[in-house]
Structure 1
Amino acid sequence: MEGENLDFLFYPRSVAVIGASHIQGKVGNAIMHSITLRFGGKVYAVNVKGGEIEVNGKKFKVYRSIKDIPDEVDVAVIAVPAKLVPDVIDECGEKGVKGAVIISAGFKEAGRADLEEELVRRARKWGIRVVGPNCLGVTNLENGFDCNFNPPERQARPLFGKVAFMSQSGAFGAAILDWAAREKIGMSKFISLGNMADLDESDFMTYLGDDPKTGVITGYIEGVKDGRKFFNTAKEVTLKKPVVILKSGRTEAGAKAAASHTGSLAGSYRIYQAAFEQAGVLEAKTMRQLFNYAKALAMQNPARGDRVAIVTNGGGAGVMMSDGLLERGMKLAELTEETNERFRKDIEEGKLPEHMSYRNPIDVIGDAPSSRYEVAMRYALEDKNVDLLVVIALFQSPALDEGIVEAVARMKDYGKPIVFVAPGGDYPHKMARNIETRGIPVYGTVEDGVDAVYALVKYGEWLRENKEL
């Protein structure tokens, strides 16, 4: 599916903030702060009052109209009262602006569908593509183009990474960005969709599907604008990269709330479920699950099957992981006789303790150092019956040394996906961060680890059924 190249919205050379303000707390002032923190392009302030604004230690002349700016402008970020937006769009059109990000609310979601239709009519007359209205804007974590009006000291920005996120809810999108920053989940681009008067979730899905900086596409939606367009787009994009969607409005009450929020028609949840399944979209039920899926898919290749091996130093955690995997439709790998023989031989020779279990879950027991883990991980990954490895490490054991970080990193050479689980507090969290810098996703609970395995298995299944994996 050939989509329009929307690079101008994420990589503009010049931006005009229309409704820029010198008053702290005003949206126009906050947008100026966000854009000028890291963005290297030209930023122009526009307000009918004129004057001068100082933001982040820089002074900006305030133009009374975008038409007065003595330079080309690629994108206009508009934060003026809704009734003024159509006329502002005309001025943007005369200036040759390519894209408008409309932060202003007060359109379809407030019962003014007529005003929204008018702004779209005028934008189309000039060939301007519109994000919003009633949105938080867009953020490109790569180049610092950020028109999100939530100040960074209240809502952090994540590191640059492979996960793109689009959201019909600005507030939920802000919470996701904040959470991703805390969890050190790298993001490529964030899009607050708002009312989707022009560009919708399918347009951005198509764009992100071709974006070399995005590895996983995630989204929060209440309802899609055009069901057939969404289905066809998703079916094609999911063959290039995974798409994970958190759908709200699953209940009748939720669907009514969605209609009053962004004017979205949530529709029958069962229809959405069927469409997701048939288009290869992974549906998340919670915010946490959304990023459990996304993190695994961003850091690991999809699994070539559903047979999972578990290596653990805690028997209870291994049993919980087994239950979780089987309940979600996956299988515990049955290790080959050859692998069992390797374990038996090492036990007989005293290289491995005789009271360990190697029947899968492979319990290396509580006194296991990293060297014992390494043997077990290697044997499991070399087994032809194993498609994916889960490593559970209870770092509370004094025997487990920091060599586990490099030991698990060496396992990447086998090319099979690996999910690491490290439950507990500060020390396991610190070790988890070290392991993740080696490209292995780490989760703090068994349940989160099950989510990760599920995503890698389900996406692999979709690719096998629809193209070569």
Structure 2
Amino acid sequence: MDKFFNAKNVAIVGVSRDINKIGHVIFQNFIESDFKGNVYAVNPNVEEVLGYKTFSSVNDIDEVDLVVIAVPADLVLDVVKDCGKKKVRNVVIISSGFAEVGNEKLEKELKKLLDKYDIKAVGPNCLGLYDSYSEVDTIFMPKSRVKRPEKGKVSFVSQSGAVGGAILDLMSDNGFGFSKFISYGNGVNLDISDFLEYLKDDENTDVICFYLEGVKDGERFFEVLKEVSKVKPVIGIKAGVSEEGREAIVSHTGSLSGDDLIYDGIFKQCGVVRANSVEELFDFVKIFLNYRMKGKKIQVITNGGGYGIMCVDSIIKNELELSEMSGESKRFLRSRFSKIIVGNPIDLLGDGNNEMFKVSIEKSLEDKDVDGVLVVLLLQLPMINSDIIDDLVELKDKKPIVVVSTGGSFSKVLIRKLEDKGIPVYVFPENAVRSLKALSGY
């Protein structure tokens, strides 16, 4: 499996001079990246592409670790045969036109041929792979349209190329670092179980996310998921909740989705954090990248009373608990800041300043009855300045600190700085509390 992500010699079959063709885009992405290995263009009909010599077949190249196949479906089997003769053991099949369009016969022939030559394949009908550390990048979306993320500790496995590509772009735009992105499409002989198993031991991955439509081997999926989630947080979206959605899946990746209640049960038994939307996935990744939480008692600290009340309501609704700070802690805060309201929430009122926030958070984190702190930080108020970022960062490693902050351009600049320092920030109380709920259940 490692050769997929750390290949040194990559051949791309189907590289055209047409800039709109998939093979051309993949080849261009490679040569314009920081990929340290060799990349070869394969096309028997032209002599060069983008100034690089082309080869008629993978058999004409001295050494090949990974072959990316981007040719029409009816040519794929011939390319696989060439790979087999070359003793290439890893291929990414971008090409579509298999079970997802009803061509089960061709997909069965493909699997038989792959098995014959002992070749592991990502795909067909997929975007393929991206590794931010090795710069292996088979995604056929131009970098001018889909920004590649910086190095990070999140890996994402997606059965759908469209969903995966969109999430990759969004996460990159929102400052998330990525380790690996895997779009496996029809999963002819490698599927989600294989990739989860690999990521469990990947030193560049701390949090694993997935988008799933269906699996072919449910028993293996259960066993792998159970083992992986013991080691790293696994956050998943399962599509096909409705009967109509399950029918659509068959024509998308050729998979059978299965009863959603069964998947829900598997996720709960295995400790998978289920996200019900892309928005929730983003929210959960933020918090799991930075924190673990031992209990579910939350202290709210706010400089906006209404937002504090909404946080309290959401905590109760999500079956978390409001912490009860010790009498000593309460007396200390009342004596230090006579005007604030000490309870849960601690309301610093509209003239709450940096010092009030810092001291209140510090005392909350020291209290044995507090497992996490939810800070409502309205940055528009004049008593708050940008030093609040350093104050929060100084305290963040003691227990989880999650911030709710809503605002325009001024607030967004400071929010991005907070998130860059490893403090999760949410626009709305409900999103923050749902994320704390997910964290408490892991």
Q: Following TM superposition, by how much is the alpha carbon of 1:155 offset from its aligned partner in structure 2, in angstroms?
A: 1.5
2: CA distance, partners of 1:135 / 1:332? 46
Q: Following TM superposition, by how much is the alpha carbon of 1:180 offset from its aligned partner in structure 2, in angstroms?
A: 0.5
- The structure 2 residue matched to 1:222, chosen from 213, 221, 229, is 213
Opposite residue 358 of structure 2, the aligned amino acid is E
Report whether the alignment pairs 1:450 with 2:433. Answer: yes
Deviation track 1:141-198 (CA, whole Å, cap 9, x = no partner) reads 1222111001111122222211111111111111101111111111111001100011
- The structure 2 residue matched to 1:383, chosen from 367, 373, 380, is 367
Report whether the alignment pairs 1:13 with 2:8. Answer: yes
- Identity, in percent, stands at 43
SS at match of 2:153: strand
Report whether the alignment pairs 1:361 with 2:352. Answer: no
2: CA distance, partners of 1:99 / 1:456? 37
Residue 306 of structure 2 corresponds to 316
- The root-mean-square deviation of aligned C-alpha atoms, in Å, is 1.1
Q: Following TM superposition, by how much is the alpha carbon of 1:452 offset from its aligned partner in structure 2, in angstroms?
A: 2.1
Residue 59 of structure 2 corresponds to 67
Deviation track 1:264-308 (CA, whole Å, cap 9, x = no partner) reads 1111011111111011011111101011111210122x1000001
2: CA distance, partners of 1:381 / 1:267? 44
1: CA distance, partners of 2:89 / 2:347? 59
Residue 337 of structure 1 corresponds to 327
2: CA distance, partners of 1:451 / 1:138? 31
- The structure 1 residue matched to 2:385, chosen from 375, 391, 401, is 401
Q: Structure 2 stretches of 5 or more lacking a match?
A: none
Report whether the alignment pairs 1:277 with 2:268. Answer: yes
SS at match of 1:145: coil
More divergent stretch after superposition (388-397 vs 116-125): 116-125
Opposite residue 60 of structure 1, the aligned amino acid is Y
Q: Following TM superposition, by how much is the alpha carbon of 1:45 offset from its aligned partner in structure 2, in angstroms?
A: 0.3
Q: Following TM superposition, by how much is the alpha carbon of 1:131 offset from its aligned partner in structure 2, in angstroms?
A: 0.2
Q: Following TM superposition, by how much is the alpha carbon of 1:389 offset from its aligned partner in structure 2, in angstroms?
A: 1.1
- The structure 2 residue matched to 1:93, chosen from 84, 90, 97, is 84
Q: Following TM superposition, by how much is the alpha carbon of 1:392 offset from its aligned partner in structure 2, in angstroms?
A: 1.4
2: CA distance, partners of 1:19 / 1:437? 40
Residue 424 of structure 2 corresponds to 441
- The structure 2 residue matched to 1:46, chosen from 42, 45, 54, is 42
1: CA distance, partners of 2:184 / 2:371? 38
- The structure 2 residue matched to 1:132, chosen from 123, 134, 144, is 123
Opposite residue 41 of structure 2, the aligned amino acid is A
Deviation track 1:89-135 (CA, whole Å, cap 9, x = no partner) reads 11111112121000000001111111111112111222211000000
SS at match of 1:115: helix
2: CA distance, partners of 1:304 / 1:341? 26
Q: Structure 1 stretches of 5 or more lacking a match?
A: 1-5, 347-351, 460-469
Deviation track 1:65-91 (CA, whole Å, cap 9, x = no partner) reads 00001x211100000111111121111
SS at match of 1:239: helix
Is the Cα contact below 8 Å between 1:313 and 1:392 reproduced in 2?
A: yes
Opposite residue 176 of structure 2, the aligned amino acid is I
Residue 27 of structure 1 corresponds to 22
Residue 70 of structure 2 corresponds to 79
Opposite residue 181 of structure 1, the aligned amino acid is S
SS at match of 2:257: coil
Is the Cα contact below 8 Å between 1:317 and 1:446 reproduced in 2?
A: yes
- How many residues align structurally? 441
1: CA distance, partners of 2:179 / 2:114? 27
SS at match of 2:375: strand
Is the Cα contact below 8 Å between 1:37 and 1:144 reproduced in 2?
A: no
Residue 235 of structure 1 corresponds to 226
Is the Cα contact below 8 Å between 1:423 and 1:446 reproduced in 2?
A: no
More divergent stretch after superposition (127-136 vs 150-159): 150-159
Question: Following TM superposition, where does structure 1 have runs of at least 4 consecutive aligned residues deviating by more than 4 angstroms?
Answer: none
2: CA distance, partners of 1:182 / 1:367? 34
TM-score, normalised with respect to structure 1: 0.92
2: CA distance, partners of 1:200 / 1:329? 35
Opposite residue 115 of structure 2, the aligned amino acid is R
More divergent stretch after superposition (74-83 vs 437-446): 437-446
1: CA distance, partners of 2:385 / 2:320? 31
Report whether the alignment pairs 1:419 with 2:402. Answer: yes
Deviation track 1:229-279 (CA, whole Å, cap 9, x = no partner) reads 111111111110011111110000000001111011111011111111011
Is the Cα contact below 8 Å between 1:296 and 1:455 reproduced in 2?
A: no
SS at match of 2:441: helix
Is the Cα contact below 8 Å between 1:244 and 1:293 reproduced in 2?
A: yes
SS at match of 1:299: coil
Is the Cα contact below 8 Å between 1:72 and 1:96 reproduced in 2?
A: no
Is the Cα contact below 8 Å between 1:419 and 1:452 reproduced in 2?
A: no
2: CA distance, partners of 1:308 / 1:37? 48
Opposite residue 15 of structure 2, the aligned amino acid is A
Distance 1:353 1:341, change over 3 A: closer
2: CA distance, partners of 1:334 / 1:397? 28
1: CA distance, partners of 2:128 / 2:206? 21
1: CA distance, partners of 2:139 / 2:290? 27
More divergent stretch after superposition (274-283 vs 435-444): 435-444
Opposite residue 142 of structure 1, the aligned amino acid is Y
Q: Following TM superposition, by how much is the alpha carbon of 1:345 offset from its aligned partner in structure 2, in angstroms?
A: 2.4
Residue 412 of structure 2 corresponds to 429
Deviation track 1:314-351 (CA, whole Å, cap 9, x = no partner) reads 111111111112211111111112211211222xxxxx
Opposite residue 329 of structure 1, the aligned amino acid is E
Q: Following TM superposition, by how much is the alpha carbon of 1:413 offset from its aligned partner in structure 2, in angstroms?
A: 4.1
SS at match of 2:225: helix
Within-5 A mapping of 1:457-468: 457-459=440-442
